[in-house]
């Protein structure tokens, strides 16, 4: 799938200008690499850029700020989610407040969507329990 140069440049800029919530979640997602789950940031899928993707698990994580709940944001997200689901991906949406106030719950939700049987029990620490 050929990527549009402008979109590629925009994705690169988004990686450089991560929000605090994205930075916080990215720190946690990188730790999952030791268990065989490698996440990438700002991944291009056709005309869309997703926040985080694990190709092995076919999991996309979207960090939703205000633009996703206001105006046409909800409808755009539905169209986008349908497109991604058609490619075999599951989209897990988390809000900024969830990351700030309940990062352990967010990570628990992510781990549930990966492959629970393959994750080591040590990942389910008190901090990361759902």
pLDDT in tens, 52-111: 999 999 999 999 875 545 567 688 889 999 999 999 999 999 999 999 999 999 999 999
At how many degrees (to 10) do helices 20-31 and 103-114 cross? 50
Structure tokens, 64: 């939703």
**pLDDT on residue 126:** 47
Structure tokens belonging to residue 109 = 């939700």
The domain 5-128 is classified under which CATH number: 3.40.30.10, 3.40.960.10, 3.40.640.10, 3.40.50.300? 3.40.960.10
DSSP category for residue 70: S
| pTM score, whole prediction | 0.76
Show Cβ contacts of residue 129 under 8 Å, excluding neighbours closer than 6 positions: 104, 108
Residues sharing a CB contact under 8 Å with residue 16, sequence separation 6 or more, in sequence order: none
For residue 122, pLDDT beyond 90: no
Where exactly are the structural domains of the chain? 5-128
């Amino acid at each position: 799938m050929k990527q549009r140069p402008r979109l590629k440049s925009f994705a690169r800029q988004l990686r450089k200008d991560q929000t605090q919530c994205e930075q916080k979640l990215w720190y946690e997602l990188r730790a999952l690499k030791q268990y065989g789950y490698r996440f990438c940031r700002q991944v291009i899928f056709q005309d869309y850029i997703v926040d985080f993707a694990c190709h092995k698990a076919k999991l996309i994580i979207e960090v939703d700020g205000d633009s996703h709940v206001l105006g046409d944001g909800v409808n755009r997200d539905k169209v986008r989610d349908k497109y991604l689901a058609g490619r075999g991906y599951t989209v897990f949406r988390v809000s900024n407040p969830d990351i700030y106030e309940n990062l352990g719950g967010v990570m628990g939700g992510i781990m549930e969507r990966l492959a629970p049987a393959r994750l080591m029990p040590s990942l389910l620490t008190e901090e990361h329990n759902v």
